[in-house]
A and B are shown apart, each in its own frame.
Chain A
């Protein structure tokens, strides 16, 4: 129950946030933060039972027909994420109070960020994969709205849409994957699926499931080649970047991989796909980060790199690598959250985020500078920070990797060298560097904007010195992922071993890169090259080609001309029905010989054909109408010959009426305009012949069937008996099928009303708009 309240309270607060903001103004952030703080304490209180292997599971029916329940499943992994989400959430909300100040749209901002927080909590606590997906999409949606928060700017709008399209598309792939997973595993409940790993891996759909789910996870966690939306998302206000695009939302993909690794992990395909994507992302992100000059973009690319490293660790799928991944999650959230918030504070105070214009801020912003220094130390992996312990564990896991350990270890070292340099650029240079020409002279940031960075960076230090608290959380999470009790002992000093050597190498090379950063920037940029040829280009190409495809098909099918529409319908009919006729062997029965026909029949048939030709070729409407009536009379004569005088009479009457109507209308119409070219006419003639041929074939097929006469005999025998009428046709119309006749009369009455309505309305004035435009162009 408390779990439900945890999520619902967030959504409830979303609704009241705008009003609250109007009342409390500047203090809104502090007030709203009470909710996540409370949640953080609640989750912390659950730590001990869950670390001991307990699981909170509860379920409410939602869509029973599909096996979808609103169920929750809380184990160590969920708890680690829930703590991060609520804890950092509280700090970010407080920070936002200072960052936004008296922004007119602040209420909307709080509402959205609370909605995100509740959705994200739902995502990590959900116990049914579809429920999880629902929250997954809600996080994408709130991310979209938050990136586009500053919607006056075109760039923000474009970035928001791009982020949503990429993550949304991935999300839908994930949905498809989850549905297939449910099919293969026989349930959508995590608690069941987690035990079905073996059955699912041997299922024929396993590879499709894996690919679809990976696309979902990779788009969300910005893995190569879907990483490009994340730097773009930096258009969002800084608290959003810190919270969504670094600490929580982008980790959702990592969460999913960790969550499903007992089900999907361990196979060859998993190993190569996940490790491969992770390694590429890790290297690319780290390398590009070094060449950026915008503080937020640097941080964004380094986040991309970290996400890659996390994915890589989960791909390796050993006890050690999972432990390292869980610890890394925590460490990264602490230091990167702090650095983002600091970047926001710097931007807020100086008016720029360009690292080339920042320096010597330590004097004006001492608290911020200390926090930045601590966070940067953790990021660089230097003792005594938690980041150091983490890096040791990372290297150890990579050295002991079951496959390609040399490759992953060297990739890891390389990426970390870049990140050491990046840590210097963002955490050290702006505060202690020499260069400085900011647009504004800075002051220390307001209290609300100091709490977050200070707490996060401080935690990095405290947990480094006293790693026991962190090890409880991490071992609970790792135990949940590995589905076995996993003890994690964290300590600062491991003795002199290869890992320490790698660490020293990393730091030395990183410092070197940092020193050479100016030279490297001038030498040219990897980022530019990737920007030119990278997936971002493919994204716009894809959008453009979709648009092109849309245009082509519209031009082809949607001409706005009735005759084209008719042509398509007729051709489709000919193709569909004609092919059935051929494939199913219609027309195989011998057709009654044409020579059996009598002389009269031949004459009338010739007359009908002639009239048809005339109707088609005649330039005058009147002549065409007359020719049509000749056809009708001809058919009526045929009825006579086959001794059906009643039918013939009806046909004569109808034909006569039609001719009169035609003449009345034709009288008021202009002559035929010559609309089609000669070639078009030939094409139309061919189509008409095809359609006519098909109809003839159908009639002939129908004729070969044995005739079923039981209705005819029945009516002939019973019309006098039951309906007291000698005229069988009359009896059928007004007695046996009286209700059909009634129906027909009703239809005619409706038509009458319609015509009456149309006639009564005279065109009052000719509309000044021209004829309709057949197609709109963007």
Chain B
């Protein structure tokens, strides 16, 4: 047999290259900058991210296989990479002031952030199990470190250890699953797995089933599906808030990208099997995530659980396994990146306004925010309403899309469960709004601290996005439908 080696098409992965090169440049530049000027590293990092986003635009209607058919640059990866870059850009904006204030080593911080971004961007493009795994490890290892970067906080270290140990475990399962699949198919390429399954039909061999099961566990850990979610609140709470903001959006996009390619492409032949597994996981994830969030008074933990619940909603769209479903997943992830990172950014702002190292983390810290920071409170209220799914904000449209897809696929019980879950979630999101608007600040000391303009810009962008794409979703939906059409069209 002949193994053909395709010509090296580096242009197709230019965005990833730009981000990783930026990471290295940033690392070098940091070495020569004195400590007090290292905050400026944020700007070249941001520039790198924006250039990469520009390249995405340039590459828009491509469908290229590159690096020996290891990566595919198509609408699927380009659109998801756009979301990842948005999350990264927002996270950088949020870090400008915060990273210095909690005394993170900024050179390494920005560099790792960008490397993790690179990993995520490779993951969306990976069409081979090997690249998938490498990309996953690349993003994870950078994140393990980022989570533990706040050495002044014991919780940060604890979070990092938990994340590392559990992450290593789940990576092990993932790898084992991949090995079993390879053992059966004789190839790591997702397309080969698909072809193999089509040829075997319903007689598909047990190894593929087992491989799929183990891989689902691995991905389930990354996107925090119940029951592989337990690390999330501990890690989200312990990590520096800007890192939490970034990972809550970025890892989910990357994880769902991989999950989507594996289920919809490679294992499309086993669709009637994994649909049920995913449906059950989605139901569990939504329900347990929302229930657990109910009782949280620590906002970082609450948002962690809420992010678990949102992973459940997104999974509903994937479970539908039709075009509307994928449309919904893409649109939701896009909106979610703004909503969730924005909400964490408000916590960063509240941290600035308080004096203790955990200021802004507790519900009480937001009491009376509407009184002395009306714009910040308004932004947070918008984000909370959007996360609840209150029309006409973008979060509502996203949920509507997801649940419509489930109805279309005949998974009516799942759609109804999703709606019920939204009711439960209203309780804890609204509690934030009530606290900000209807309760008075205790202790009466209001720090008149100015907020960093970059942070303000980031929050404003996130809040406006939830309104804008709720009212005028057509611009982004057109992009989404073109993408998914080419994905399903072959």
Q: CB within 8 Å of B: which residues of A?
A: 61-66, 68, 130, 133-134, 137-138, 141, 148, 151, 157, 160-161, 164-165, 168-169, 172-173, 175-176, 179-180, 182-183, 205, 208, 212, 546-547, 549-551, 553-554, 557-558, 560, 562, 564-566, 568-570, 572-573, 576-577, 580-581, 584-586, 695, 698, 701-702, 705, 708, 710-711, 714, 739-740, 743-744, 746-747, 750-751, 753-754, 756-758, 760-761, 763-764, 767, 769-772, 774, 776-778
Q: Which residues of A contact B141 (CB under 8 A)?
A: 747, 750-751, 754
In the complex, what distance in Å separates the CA atom of A212 from the CA atom of B233? 34
Supply 30 A–B pairs (Cβ within 8 Å), ascending by A.
A61-B474, A63-B397, A68-B400, A133-B391, A138-B391, A148-B434, A172-B420, A176-B403, A179-B403, A183-B407, A208-B412, A550-B291, A557-B230, A562-B165, A565-B166, A565-B230, A566-B165, A568-B227, A569-B166, A576-B213, A580-B209, A580-B210, A586-B207, A702-B180, A711-B186, A714-B1, A714-B3, A758-B151, A776-B298, A778-B295
Chain B minimum-CB-distance residue to A205: B412
Closest to A777 in B: B295
Give the complex CA separation of A133 and B301 in angstroms.
32
Contact mask for chain B residues 194-238; partner A; CB cutoff 8 A; 1 contact, 0 none: 000000000001110110011011000100000110110110011
Residue in B206, B216, B419 whose beta carbon sits within 8 Å of that of A173 in the complex: B419
Task: Tell me which residues from 157 to 171 in chain B have a Cβ below 8 Å from any Cβ of chain A.
Answer: 158-159, 161-162, 165-166, 169-170
Contact: B206 with A585, CB < 8 Å?
A: yes
Total A-B Cβ pairs within 8 A:
248
Q: Do residues B176 and A698 form an inter-chain contact, with CB atoms below 8 A?
A: yes
Query: With A65-B324, A714-B3 in contact, do A772 and B434 touch (Cβ < 8 Å)?
Result: no
Assess whether B423 is interfacial by the CB under 8 Å rule. yes
**Is A560 a contact partner of B234 (Cβ separation < 8 A)?**
yes
Chain B, residues 173-186, CB within 8 Å of chain A (1/0): the string is 10010001001101
Interface hits, B396-437 → A, CB 8 Å: 396-397, 400-401, 403-404, 407-408, 412, 415-416, 419-420, 422-424, 426-427, 430, 434, 437
Closest to A164 in B: B430
Q: Chain A binding site: helix, strand, loop or mixed by DSSP?
A: helix
Within 8 Å of chain A (Cβ to Cβ): is B27?
A: yes
- Smallest Cβ distance from B18 to chain A, in angstroms? 15
A763 nearest CB neighbor, chain B only: B151
Point out the residues of chain A lying under 8 angstroms from B44, CB to CB. none
Distance between Cα atoms of A137 and B213 in the complex (Å): 41
Q: Which residues of B contact A767 (CB under 8 A)?
A: 152-154
Tell whether B155 is near chain A: CB-to-CB under 8 Å.
yes
B452 contacts chain A at the CB level, 8 A cutoff: no
Q: Is B100 close to A, CB under 8 A? A: no
Q: Which residue of A lies closest to B163 (CB)?
A: A562
Contact of B142 among A175, A584, A750, A760 (CB under 8 A): A750
Task: Identify which of A564, A747, A763 gathers the most chain B CB atoms within 10 Å of its CB.
Answer: A747
Q: Are B473 and A62 in contact (CB under 8 A)?
A: yes
Residue of B nearest to A584 (CB): B206
Decide: B288 and A557 in contact? CB cutoff 8 A: yes
Which of chain A's residues have a CB closer than 8 A to the CB of B131? 743
In the complex, chain B residues whose CB is within 8 Å of the CB of A756: 108
> Given A176-B419, A547-B294, A747-B141, are A568 and B154 neighbors across the interface (CB < 8 Å)?
no
B266 within 8 A of A: no
Quick check: B288 and A553 within 8 Å, CB to CB?
yes
| CA A698 to CA B181, docked complex, whole Å | 12
| Contact B166–A572 (Cβ < 8 Å) | no
Q: Is residue B464 within 8 Å, beta carbon to beta carbon, of the partner chain?
A: no
B365 → A minimal CB distance (Å): 13
* Partner pick for B390 among A141, A557, A570, CB 8 A cutoff: A141
A770 (CB) vs chain B CBs: closest residue: B154
CB <8 Å contact, A577 and B210: yes
CB neighbours (8 Å) of B403 from chain A are 175-176, 179
Given the interface contacts A64-B474, A705-B183, A776-B301, does A753 sit within 8 Å of B419 by beta carbon? no
Min CB distance B203 to A, Å, is: 11
**Interface check B70, CB cutoff 8 A:** yes
State whether A566 and B111 are in contact (beta carbons under 8 Å apart), knowing that A179-B407, A705-B183 are contacts in the complex.
no
Partner of A554 from B115, B295, B297, B412 at Cβ < 8 Å: B295
Interface flag for B67 (CB, 8 Å): yes
Q: Could you tell me the dominant secondary structure of chain B's interface residues?
A: helix
Bound-state Cα–Cα, A183 to B426, Å: 26
Given contacts A63-B397, A743-B134, contact A558 B233 (CB under 8 A): yes
Excluding A175-B419, A744-B134, A750-B138, 16 further A-B contacts by CB distance (< 8 Å) are A63-B477, A66-B324, A66-B404, A141-B390, A148-B438, A161-B430, A546-B294, A572-B217, A701-B206, A705-B207, A710-B1, A710-B186, A747-B134, A753-B108, A767-B154, A778-B296
The contact of A757 among B3, B149, B209, B408, by CB within 8 Å, is B149
Q: Is B64 an interface residue (CB 8 A)?
A: no
Other-chain contact of A739, B70, B324, B481 (Cβ < 8 Å): B70
Task: Give the residue of B295, B415, B420, B427 whose beta carbon is less than 8 angstroms from that of A165.
Answer: B427
* Docked CA distance A41–B423 (Å): 39
Residues of B285-335 whose CB lies within 8 A of A: 288, 291-298, 301, 324, 327
Least distance between B290 CB and chain A CB atoms (Å): 9
Contact partners of B238 in chain A: CB under 8 A = 772
Residues from chain B with a CB closer than 8 A to the CB of A562 are 161-162, 165-166
**Residue contact A176 to B477, C-beta cutoff 8 Å:** no
List the interface of chain B (C-beta within 8 A of A): 1, 3, 27, 67-68, 70, 105, 108, 111-112, 115, 130-131, 134, 137-138, 141-142, 144-145, 148-149, 151-155, 158-159, 161-162, 165-166, 169-170, 173, 176, 180, 183-184, 186, 205-207, 209-210, 213-214, 216-217, 221, 227-228, 230-231, 233-234, 237-238, 277, 288, 291-298, 301, 324, 327, 385, 390-392, 396-397, 400-401, 403-404, 407-408, 412, 415-416, 419-420, 422-424, 426-427, 430, 434, 437-439, 473-474, 477, 481
- Of the candidates B111, B230, B396, B407, the one whose C-beta lies within 8 Å of that of A753 is B111
A747 to B145, CA, bound (A): 13
**Residues of chain B lying within 8 A (CB to CB) of residue A205:** 412
Cross-chain contact B294 with A550 (CB below 8 angstroms): yes
Q: How far is the CA of A551 from the CA of B234 in the complex (A)?
A: 17
Residue numbers in B under 8 Å from A547 (CB-CB): 294-295
Q: Which residue on A lies nearest to B293, using beta carbons?
A: A550
Neighbouring A residues of B183 by C-beta, 8 Å: 702, 705
Contacts of B401 in A (CB 8 A): 63, 65-66
Nearest-neighbor residue (CB-CB) of B177 within chain A: A577
Give chain A residues whose Cβ lies under 8 Å from the Cβ of B481: 65
Min CB distance, A705 to chain B, in Å?
A: 6
**Do A157 and B170 form a contact, CB below 8 Å, given A176-B415, A581-B206, A777-B295?**
no
Alpha-carbon gap, A322 to B207, bound state (A): 65
Minimum CB–CB distance from B394 to chain A (whole Å) comes to 11
**Which of B173, B408, B474 is within 8 Å of A63, CB to CB?**
B474
Given the known inter-chain contacts A754-B142, A776-B296, A778-B295, please indicate yes or no for A180 contacting B412, CB distance below 8 A: yes
Assembled-state Cα–Cα distance A532/B427 (Å): 24
Question: Whole-angstrom distance between the alpha carbons of A165 and B108 in the complex?
Answer: 46
* Residues A757 and B68 in contact, CB atoms below 8 Å apart: no
Looking at the assembled complex, report how far the CB atom of B299 sits from the nearest CB atom of chain A, in whole angstroms: 10
* Smallest Cβ-Cβ distance to A548: which chain B residue: B295
Which single residue of chain B is at the shortest CB-CB distance from A67? B404
User: Which chain B residues lie closer than 8 Å to A577 at the CB level?
Assistant: 210, 213-214, 217
Q: Quote the shortest CB–CB distance from B57 to chain A (angstroms).
A: 22
Partner of A157, one of B152, B408, B434: B434
Chain B min CB distance to A663 (Å):
21
Q: In the complex, what distance in Å separates the CA atom of A560 from the CA atom of B158?
A: 10
- A750-B213 contact given A63-B473, A560-B234, A569-B227, CB 8 Å threshold: no
In the assembled complex, the CB of B16 is this many whole angstroms from the nearest CB of chain A, namely 11
CB-contact partner of B154 in A134, A570, A710, A771, under 8 A? A771
**Given the contacts A172-B419, A565-B231, A761 and B151 also touching, CB distance less than 8 Å:** yes
> Closest CB-CB distance, B403 to chain A, in whole Å?
6
| Structural contact, B153 and A698, CB atoms closer than 8 A | no
Evaluate contact between B230 and A573: CB separation under 8 angstroms: no
